[in-house]
Structure 1
Amino acid sequence: MSHGKMPAMDTFNPLRDAVPPGEIKRALIIKLRHHGDVLVSSPVFSALKAHAPQAEIDALVYADTAEMLTLHPAISQVHVVGRHWKRLGVIGQLRAEVALFNSLQARGYDLVIHLTEHWRGAWLCRLLKPRWSVGPAIAGRNRRWQASFTHLQASPKNALRHMVEANLDALRRIGIQPGPDERRMLLIPGGLADQRVAALLEKFGLQGQHFIHVHPASRWFFKCWPVARMASLIEALQNEGHVVVLTAAPSPEEKAMLEAIQARLPRPAFSLSGELSLKELAALTRQARLFIGVDSAPMHIAAAVGTPTLALFGPSGDKQWGPWGVPARVVSSTRHACRPCGIDGCGGGKVSDCLSSLTVAEVLAAAHELLAQ
């Protein structure tokens, strides 16, 4: 019997098909989803870079979500798929697709990690022929899907695992265990965004002052709190002496919601409705004392820039999508056992009782807890 020194437990890896991080030269991480989905994948880049510092790591995302990842220190290049390509006609779309594929092929990836169920990721793994490829195991998918990847990542069978951890499971599947500091979301606004926001705050007379950033809307309106209650919350905060800055996306629906809130306020709040890019929104939020919003990309942006976050949740799951990695409070109904249901309003009617029932007093109390920290 050998009495030699046993390997340290922290270096032991029981995974037989683990990928050696030191042999990864170039990696591509694919996340073809909405803004918030892309942002919650940002720790995957940080963790992979921490374990394979020699690797160049690229991203493939939809063009409109690219700002969620550009300037990320772990990312070498951000490649994009245009949602508008289908409107270019057959020849135009084919040219765009070929140009993208040629750019990806020229990078010579050793590792491709596909974080969604989109078939594009499977086909790219087949065509790019990386040494290693990771994709989600999806029930009901045929053998062609399964054979596209060298490693299949198991997904949790409940709604209790945060999407940050679910994304990081792709690394765990190949033997890379992210440390606590590597699990943080990250969004870098950049110098130009910081400068423009500084100029806007100076215009309001708010440069260097504390303020609360409120973003009431979501692209999915069944996730939104009623206008009258949001206005009452803002009025209560103003009466306590807090300065409130409102934002909304450029869409007519979100801007109209903000106008309806402002119309109910005795003293309209400062508003940057529809005026900010995603990077500028991040720059503004980073300077706020507190962010208040709903389950939306701006809520994830607040967490990614380190701002204390108060989030209102209705039919969507806060265990999966709540604020990550910052001081936070989630206000959700304890009176509706049916939530989270994932339905676009009760009965599909675009209005969620579990949100409508939340009181101003409940949300204000949560704000006070965060402001006291």
Structure 2
Amino acid sequence: MRTSAIGDVTHVVPLIRTLQAQAPGTALTWLVGKLERKLVGDLPGVEFITFDKGKGREGMREVRQALAGRRFDALLHMQVALRSNLLSLAVKADRRIGYDHARSKDLHGLFVNERIAARTGEHVLDAMASFIEPLGLKQTEVRWDIPVPDDAHAWAAEQLPGDTPTLLVSPMSSHTVRNWRVDRYAALIDHAAARGMRVALVGGPSPAERELADQILAAVTHTPMDLTGKDTLKRFMALLGRSSMILTPDSGPMHMANAAGTKVLGLHAASNPHRSGPYSDRRWCVDRYDAASRKFFGKPASEIPWGTKIEKEGVMDLVEVPDMIGRFEACADFLKLPLRA
């Protein structure tokens, strides 16, 4: 059971792959959110049951109906919010495996009868992988292979034809304090375009994302392609497959990009990239988390609890344009992109 959010759901996919490889006779059912199912709902060998949180109590009733009369050997209860804890009552299971005491909240302990090992200093993906350890299994390989349908690939090829090196810019996080300033996004876009990169703005259809995209478009000198609100989750995965890099704050698109193998120019100050950054490769991220801890808490990041979010107004100002240009150039050099001098 992991219903949300997009980034966290991508972290569960390697666990599914591990279960399928190490316990191939196991029937797997994933209780997942409505939006998130659009990304992972076609994973082969998995039954999906959708929770539509937008329906409130009706959404919970639909889950109870879908699971009525069923019992499972084990529930991996991988979400600690109160709503999720209440939703877990719809799942009848002999073993109910949840988080350790330190990572529990909202009465999570009342809804589980086993806990994962207490650890600190872990990436979120590794914490989720530990849910299979009480079953006698261990994740030793991280593999996504999220399916992308042919029509999504065809759409992406129409938007990004040929093999021009491409930078995607996904500027918005659901935690808006993690977003970079408009003028800084514009400066990086202009730098990449001047170097010969094809740049495309991407984002969802929400009014807030449309507004941010419009502000960026008004601030740039080199106008990027504007795909904001035009893609779906699967189309976005296809776009990633045709792109060299993505610039983004800590967000769902960051983790989708990592799953797709696209290099991530990550913007980190409000969150710790070693806990919630791109799992596979954080070399191209700018990490100002320690500076943020010193500024807002008066102590280094090593002295605050693991996973602390420093979501303070202005925290992302600690990530400056030259920092990210440096990471962009280093990544372009690593990829041996044929850019203009």
TM-score (ref. length: structure 1): 0.78
Q: Secondary structure at the match of 2:65?
A: helix
1:110 alignment partner, one of 73, 79, 93: 73
* Secondary structure at 2:72 match in 1: coil
C-alpha deviation, 1:226, in angstroms: 0.9
Corresponding residue of 2:10? 39
Aligned AA for 1:342?
K
1:130 partner letter: A
Q: Secondary structure at the match of 1:41?
A: helix
Amino acid at match of 1:211: T
2:216 pairs, out of 243, 257, 261, with 261
Partner residue in 2 for 1:162: 123
Partner Cα distance (2:248, 2:91) in 1: 41
Instruction: Give the Cα separation in 2 of the matches to 1:46 and 1:273.
Output: 31
Q: What pairs up with 1:304-343 in 2 under 5 angstroms?
A: 304-326=259-281, 328-333=283-288, 335-336=291-292, 337=294, 338=297, 341-343=308-310
Cα separation, partners in 2 of 1:199 and 1:323, compared to 1, 3 Å: same
What is the CA distance between 1:281 and its match in structure 2?
Answer: 1.1
The structural deviation recorded for 1:163 is 0.3
Instruction: Give, in angstroms, the shift of residue 155 of structure 1.
Output: 3.7
Aligned length: 321
Structure 2: how far apart are the matches of 1:256 and 1:35? Answer: 22
| 1:127-155 Cα distance to aligned partner (Å, 9 max, x none) | 6433333112336989x964643422234
Match of 2:20 in 1: 49
Root-mean-square deviation (Å): 2.6
Distance in 2, matches of 1:344 and 1:358, equals 14
Question: In 1, are the aligned partners of 2:267 and 2:285 still within 8 Å (CA)?
Answer: yes
Q: How much identity, in percent, do the aligned residues show? A: 21
Output the CA distance in 1 between the equivalents of 2:26 and 2:197.
46
Q: 2:47 aligns with which of 72, 77, 99?
A: 77
Which residue number in structure 2 is paired with residue 210 of structure 1? 165
After TM superposition, give the deviation of residue 119 of structure 1 in Å: 4.9
Kept after mapping to 1: 8 A contact 2:273/2:282: no
The answer to whether the 8 Å contact 1:69/1:187 transfers is yes
The one-letter amino acid of 1:198's match is A
2:269–2:318 contact (8 Å) kept in structure 1: no
Shift of 1:288: 0.3
One-letter amino acid of the counterpart of residue 361, structure 1: P
Which of 331, 336, 344 lines up with 2:311 in the alignment? 344
Larger Rg: 1
Unaligned stretches of 5+ residues in structure 1? 1-29, 346-350
Partner of 1:356: 317
Instruction: Indicate which of 90, 111, 116 corresponds to 1:153.
Output: 116
